[in-house]
C-alpha cells in the first residue's frame, strides 16, 4: 500500500529567501501544495514541475476555503498516497492553525511532519530594526492575536513587549484597551506593513496617538509592536524606508492584494 504524508510547512514572513532548507526539500518532494494567499509565490519555484497547487485564499476577513475543507483535502489526498505540502505564512504553529490541522491528521492516522518557519512576529520586527528583547529596554515579550475577541491581547500586560498579529481591523480598540488596563499613553509602538517585503512600511507613534484616530484601514499583512524597544527603529532600521510618523495614517490606507 502506498502511504501518503502531509508536510505542515512554514513559508516565512514574506521574503522568499527566508525559507528553510528543510522546507525546500519537502516542496520538491510534494505532489500537491495547499498554499495560503500571503505566502510569496516565489517560494513555489522550489516545487517540482507539474505539481498541483491549490489556493486556499486565506486572508484576514476573506477565506475562499474554510478550515474544515482544508483539513478534509489534506486527509483525502494523503489517503490516496500523495505527498501533500500545506504551505503557510510565517510558522505553522504560531497563529497558523497548524495545531488544528496536525490534530486532524493524527485523528485520521495520516503521517505528518511540521517544518517550522521564520515567524513574521520575529522577522518583521527585525527587518524594521526592532529588537523585541533588549537588555536596556525589555526582558519579556508576548505574541498575541489582534482578531476580534482579543481579550488575550489586553491580558498580556505583564510583558514588556507586545507583538500583535492580525490586528489591522482592531488595532484602534486594542490601543484604547491597553491604556485602560494600565499601559502609559506615552508607550511607543510601531505598525509594520508588509514586513520583510520590498514594500515594507513602518509607522511609529504612541498608544495615545493611535487611540485618538477615528478610523484607519491597514492592508494585510500588518504587525503591531508595542513597547519601548520600538523607539530603536529610528536608529537601527536597515531595510527599506525609515519609519514614518503615525499621524500619516490618519488618511486611510486602502487595503490591496499581495
**From 5, 15, 31, 58, active-site residue:** 58
Catalytic residue among 36, 88, 91, 179: 36
CA–CA dist 221, 225 (Å, integer): 13
- The closest alpha carbon to 58, from 101, 102, 103, 27, belongs to 101
Torsion (CA) 227, 231, 234, 240 in degrees, nearest 10: 0
3-state secondary structure of 231: helix
Give the active site residue among 88, 166, 179, 204.
Answer: 166
Residue that is written with C-alpha cell 492553525 in the block = 97
Residues in the chain: 258
| 36 is an active site residue | yes
Cis, bond preceding 37 (omega within 30 deg of 0): no
Residue 220 DSSP symbol: S
The CA-based diameter of the chain, rounded to the nearest angstrom, is: 63
Rg from Cα positions in the chain: 19
| Nearest of 162, 256, 159 to residue 201 by alpha carbon | 256
Q: Which residues are catalytic?
A: 36, 58, 166
Amino acid at each position: 500500500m502506498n502511504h501518503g504524508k502531509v508536510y505542515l510547512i512554514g513559508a516565512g514572513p514574506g521574503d522568499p529567501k527566508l525559507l528553510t532548507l528543510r522546507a525546500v526539500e519537502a516542496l520538491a518532494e510534494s505532489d500537491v501544495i495547499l498554499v495560503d494567499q500571503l505566502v510569496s509565490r516565489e517560494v513555489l519555484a522550489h516545487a517540482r514541475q507539474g505539481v498541483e497547487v491549490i489556493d486556499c485564499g486565506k486572508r484576514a476577513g476573506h477565506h475562499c476555503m474554510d478550515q474544515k475543507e482544508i483539513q478534509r483535502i489534506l486527509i483525502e489526498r494523503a489517503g490516496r498516497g500523495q505527498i501533500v505540502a500545506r504551505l503557510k505564512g510565517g510558522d505553522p504553529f504560531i497563529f497558523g492553525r497548524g495545531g488544528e490541522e496536525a490534530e486532524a491528521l493524527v485523528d485520521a492516522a495520516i503521517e505528518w511532519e511540521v517544518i517550522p518557519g521564520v515567524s513574521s512576529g520575529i522577522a518583521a520586527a527585525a527587518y524594521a530594526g526592532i529588537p523585541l528583547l533588549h537588555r536596556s529596554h525589555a526582558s519579556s515579550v508576548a505574541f498575541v492575536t489582534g482578531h476580534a475577541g482579543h481579550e488575550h491581547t489586553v491580558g498580556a500586560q505583564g510583558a514588556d513587549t507586545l507583538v500583535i498579529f492580525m490586528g489591522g481591523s482592531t488595532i484602534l480598540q486594542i490601543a484604547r484597551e491597553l491604556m485602560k488596563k494600565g499601559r502609559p499613553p506615552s508607550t511607543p509602538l510601531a505598525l509594520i506593513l508588509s514586513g520583510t517585503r520590498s514594500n515594507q512600511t513602518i509607522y511609529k507613534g504612541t498608544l495615545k496617538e493611535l487611540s485618538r484616530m477615528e478610523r484607519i484601514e491597514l492592508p494585510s499583512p500588518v504587525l503591531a509592536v508595542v513597547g519601548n524597544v520600538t523607539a530603536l527603529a529610528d536608529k537601527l532600521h536597515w531595510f527599506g524606508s525609515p519609519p514614518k510618523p503615525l499621524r500619516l495614517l490618519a488618511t486611510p490606507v486602502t487595503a490591496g492584494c499581495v
